[in-house]
Chain A
Amino acid sequence: MSARSPTRRALVASVSLFVPAIPFGLVLGVAIGESPINNLLGWSTSSIIFGGASQLTLISILAAGGAPFSALAAALAVNSRHLMYSAALSQRFADQPRWFRWCAPYLLIDQQFAITEALEDSADDWRRFYLTSGLVFWTFWQTVVALGLALGPLVPHSWGLDFAVPLMFLGLVVVALNRVPAVVASLSGAAAAWVFGGLPNRLGLLVGGLVGVVAGTLADRDRVDVVEEAEDLAADAIPQHDHPAPAHRPDPDSGDVS
């Protein structure tokens, strides 16, 4: 296994990415332990649903005596953002075998999307990376939730370790930002999610995601139009040469934010 093998890279990335999620998994385990739901049944949400926020939503509503249907609706609403991950990754699966297309969605949590989306690997390497990081997340998640369930509150809330999760996603976004439209998508998505933060079941997240995608796409189109118009004007203003236009032209996709 060479240092740059996809399996090795996926191990390093997913293990370090999992660390900030540990407190959340412990909290979920404690919530299951304190709920009237059978412990094993509560823990089974980790493997059946495999999504921390929706598991916590489901458990909390059932524990508070809410109607099963409203608990289900809320848990699904929380996970609706995965529709966007699915769409965004769909082209990655063009060259993937059928079995992988059916297995991969099960492992598609936020972290998994964040670290696999931007990889520039071949189809085979991408699949190895995806399976490795997905199985690491899955195994760790089952373990941490079980630990929280078995041992109770391990980490005092006052340490504020919950804060590591938004910090980690912030870092993932910032590290990937390389073009102006992506910055537009990021800022408008966050702003819209903040404005609609009062919506139940984290639906503000879905609204924010949609607003950000639309804003980023519009910003991208504007840039292309502006650059092309500027080139047309410049071409009109410059007397015609024999040779074609200079090979170097501003690439509308390479805008740097720095």
Chain B
Amino acid sequence: MTLLVILLAGVGSYFFRGVFILALADRTPPPVVAKALRYVGPAVLSALVATDLWGPDAAAVGAPELVGLVGAGLAAWRTRNLIVSVVVGMGLRSVLVVLGL
């Protein structure tokens, strides 16, 4: 039974990931749809950040995390470097945690 559930979850996940690739790759979407699809990236990935931080199974977010978040955002914006931004964010959070804030 567990295996069946896992297999169905796998099939369902593949369906979600593949349905539009397989159905729409050979079609040209209407202009408004093509425009809307450009905003899937920023919209869903930002929503992912918010859900990771404030969703139902997220750990508590306090001052260290908020400062880390702002710092990482600024670092990403200034340097355009992902590694730098993650290091800045984790570093700021650790410093504030160690300081007991």
Interface status of A154 (Cβ within 8 A of chain B): no
Q: List residues of chain A with CB within 8 A of the CB of B54.
A: 193-194, 197
Q: B14, B51, B77, B82 — which one has the most chain A CB atoms within 10 A of its CB?
A: B51
Cβ A170 vs Cβ B6 within 8 A: no
Cβ B21 vs Cβ A58 within 8 A: no
Cβ A68 vs Cβ B5 within 8 A: yes
Cβ A188 vs Cβ B9 within 8 A: no
Residue of B9, B24, B28, B42 touching A186 (CB-CB under 8 A): B42
Residue of B10, B40, B81 touching A87 (CB-CB under 8 A): B40
Cβ A164 vs Cβ B43 within 8 A: no
- Interface footprint category on A: 35 or more
Residue of B3, B12, B52 touching A76 (CB-CB under 8 A): B12
Cβ B43 vs Cβ A208 within 8 A: yes
Pick the interface stretch among A135-143, A171-179, A225-233. A171-179
Given contacts A16-B83, A113-B41, A170-B72, contact A80 B35 (CB under 8 A): no
Determine the distance from Cα of A169 to Cα of B47 in the docked complex, in whole angstroms.
10
Given contacts A20-B86, A213-B40, contact A49 B13 (CB under 8 A): yes
Cβ B69 vs Cβ A167 within 8 A: yes
- Interface footprint category on B: 35 or more
CB B66 to nearest CB in A, in angstroms, measures 11
Q: List residues of chain B with CB within 8 A of the CB of A16.
A: 82-83
Q: List residues of chain A with CB within 8 A of the CB of B41.
A: 88, 113-114, 117-118, 173, 176, 182
Cβ A186 vs Cβ B43 within 8 A: yes
Q: Bits for B57-72, please: 1 = Cβ < 8 Å to A, else 0.
A: 1110000010011001
Given contacts A85-B40, A188-B43, A208-B43, contact A49 B55 (CB under 8 A): no
CB A190 to nearest CB in B, in angstroms, measures 4
Cβ A50 vs Cβ B13 within 8 A: yes
CB A256 to nearest CB in B, in angstroms, measures 12
Q: List residues of chain B with CB within 8 A of the CB of A151.
A: none
Cβ B37 vs Cβ A170 within 8 A: no
Cβ A167 vs Cβ B68 within 8 A: yes
* Beyond known contacts A48-B7, A174-B73, A197-B51: 20 more, CB 8 A cutoff: A45-B10, A50-B13, A58-B9, A83-B20, A87-B40, A89-B21, A90-B37, A94-B25, A101-B21, A160-B90, A160-B97, A163-B89, A168-B82, A171-B76, A171-B82, A173-B42, A177-B42, A198-B56, A212-B42, A215-B43
B interface, CB within 8 angstroms of A = 1-10, 12-14, 16-26, 28-29, 32, 34-59, 65, 68-69, 72-73, 75-77, 80-83, 85-86, 89-90, 93-94, 97
**List of 7 A-B pairs having minimum Cβ-Cβ separation, nearest first:** A212-B43, A208-B47, A105-B18, A216-B39, A193-B47, A189-B43, A93-B25
A interface, CB within 8 angstroms of B = 16-17, 20, 37-38, 41, 44-45, 48-51, 54, 58, 62, 68-69, 71-72, 75-76, 79-91, 93-94, 96, 101-102, 104-106, 108, 110, 113-114, 117-118, 160-177, 181-183, 185-194, 197-200, 202, 204-205, 207-217, 220-221, 258
